[in-house]
Chain A
Amino acid sequence: MNLTLRIWRQTGPEDKGRMVTYQVEDISPDMSFLEMLDVLNERLTLAGEEPVAFDHDCREGICGMCGMMINGNAHGPQRGTTACQLHMRQFADGDTIDIEPWRARAFPVVKDLVVNRNAFDQIIAGGGFVTAPTGSAPEAHAAPVAKAEADAAFESAACIGCGACVAACPNGSGMLFTAAKVTQLSLLPQGQPERYTRVIGMVDSHDDAGFGGCTNAGECTVVCPKGIPLHTIGRLNRDYLAATAKHTGRS
């Protein structure tokens, strides 16, 4: 496959950045998207040019490091897939592919396609944990959990924090991530003691980090590689309403 790539190049946080066009030849349709970028980078390195910086780690779709806008689609055209698990057979020979970093004030560009997602850590620090001492794994039957609750909590816990929801959101909101991280705990007995201070703390941290507000537009859930459903945000809203009715103070 021969492809034309238009890639966002930005030397550092202060640089203005621009789209640069590259040609790549003889790409195998069985390569992953990141392998295709590796091929480009090898060529750039041999030519003495700066390779394209992009985040990646496990390359098996579970770490949440990779992530880029591919033709305006977070993680590319295939649903339920991270960029590393996207294969070049999803594209046709001769295609032009636009590659951009996640765009959000809360995710400043570090270099090229690499963004700083510390804002997500800030949200977690706002309450996305349990303070009970955990120690080693408890005996499974010690705290009974209904199957439906366990399934819903697991659905939320599948979030890998890649940031695609923010990237796709027309409001630049991180509410799907926040909702997943709130509900994976609020649905389980271990999460109950801090349930209501948690939701307020995390939503406050979300807003302070510079994310936009959720308008239930639904773009996030479409691109989420882990398929976190939109109604997770409803669970967060329910907890938030209960929390503001119960507690007047902040966490």
Chain B
Amino acid sequence: MAVTGLVLVLFLVAHMLGNLKIFTGAEDFDHYAHWLRDLGTPLLPYGWYLWLQRGGLLIALAGHIWAATMLAVRARSARPVRYAHRKKVQGSYAARTMRWGGVIIALFVIYHILDLTTGHLNPIGDPSRPQANVVADFAPERWYVTLFYTLAVVALGFHLRHGAYSALRSLGQQTPQGERRARGLALVFAVALSVGYLVVPFAVLLGLVR
């Protein structure tokens, strides 16, 4: 869970930083998208690096979902008779929403790939003009796209808040001071990443990026 999660987190950071290129202009953003395909050449043929990365991410994602499913199955079988009266969250809200949050994020990722990678659900869907695709996506009249995006990113923020903290614990974080640090770090990281992702659609929505 922790190891596969950290691989996915590395990707999330890189992806967010790439997204922010939209603020330096359409040309920069498009150039970045093309560079991703060009990366590794001439050692690798054109586009291979991206496919290698996708393969790696898919393995990490499969491992992550498999581990989560195992935990959920074990949790279900560990309590065959449910409580008639169950107190709500006493530990952490983020921890309790990991499973459904994960499902929301997974559904969003599928939509996101069909939208901005393959272009099927995008109003423009032109792979040679990624910046135009993004701007068309978050246009004010397509407010529901922005809403879903925001929902998914907030779910991701919660997921990361507990996920990052829990991963550090799984990898052996063991002192009270370390626990406070890990909690703080996870919160700051989750907020920073969520904000980094959300500024793009809202900048488009408010007409700051066209």
Stretch at the interface among A120-128, A190-198, A217-225: A217-225
Which residues from A are CB-within-8-Å of B78? 104-106, 171-173, 210-212
Given the known interface contacts A234-B179, A238-B172, the answer about A172 and B79 at a Cβ–Cβ threshold of 8 Å is: yes
- Name the interface size band of chain B: 20 to 34
- The reply to whether the CB of A230 lies closer than 8 angstroms to some CB of chain B is yes
Which residues from A are CB-within-8-Å of B95? 215-218
- The reply to whether the CB of B176 lies closer than 8 angstroms to some CB of chain A is yes
A234 touches B169 (CB 8 A): yes
B172 touches A72 (CB 8 A): no
A196-251, CB < 8 A from B: 210-213, 215-223, 229-231, 233-235, 237-238, 241
- The reply to whether the CB of A78 lies closer than 8 angstroms to some CB of chain B is no
- The reply to whether the CB of A19 lies closer than 8 angstroms to some CB of chain B is yes
Contact partner, A218, options B81, B85, B92, B175, Cβ 8 Å: B92
- Nearest CB in chain A: distance from B187 CB, A: 14
A213 touches B75 (CB 8 A): yes
Which residues from A are CB-within-8-Å of B81? 17, 103, 109
C-alpha gap A237/B169 in the complex (Å): 7
Contact partner, A71, options B87, B170, B176, B178, Cβ 8 Å: B87
Which residues from A are CB-within-8-Å of B173? 231, 234
Complex: chain A residue closest to B76, CB-CB: A212
- The reply to whether the CB of B166 lies closer than 8 angstroms to some CB of chain A is yes
A216 touches B178 (CB 8 A): no
A216 touches B170 (CB 8 A): yes
Binary per-residue interface labels of chain B (153-184) against chain A in the complex, 1 for a CB within 8 Å, 0 otherwise: 00000000010011001111111101100000
- Nearest CB in chain A: distance from B87 CB, A: 4
Question: How many residues of chain A get a CB closer than 8 Å to chain B's CBs?
Answer: 42
B169 touches A216 (CB 8 A): yes
Which residues from A are CB-within-8-Å of B172? 234, 237-238, 241
B86-128, CB < 8 A from A: 86-87, 90-92, 95-96, 98
Given the known interface contacts A98-B85, A213-B70, the answer about A222 and B90 at a Cβ–Cβ threshold of 8 Å is: yes
C-alpha gap A57/B169 in the complex (Å): 36
A100 touches B84 (CB 8 A): yes
- The reply to whether the CB of A73 lies closer than 8 angstroms to some CB of chain B is yes
Contact partner, A217, options B85, B86, B92, B171, Cβ 8 Å: B92
A101-148, CB < 8 A from B: 103-106, 109
- The reply to whether the CB of A153 lies closer than 8 angstroms to some CB of chain B is no
Residue ranges of A at the interface with B (Cβ–Cβ < 8 Å): 6, 8, 17, 19, 69, 71-73, 98, 100, 103-106, 109, 168, 170-173, 210-213, 215-223, 229-231, 233-235, 237-238, 241
Nearest 5 interchain pairs by C-beta: A172-B78, A218-B91, A212-B78, A238-B172, A234-B174
In the assembled complex, 22 residue pairs joining A and B whose CB atoms fall closer than 8 Å, in A order, are A6-B84, A73-B87, A170-B96, A171-B74, A172-B75, A212-B79, A213-B71, A213-B74, A215-B71, A215-B95, A216-B165, A218-B90, A222-B90, A223-B90, A229-B179, A231-B173, A231-B174, A234-B169, A235-B174, A237-B169, A237-B171, A241-B172
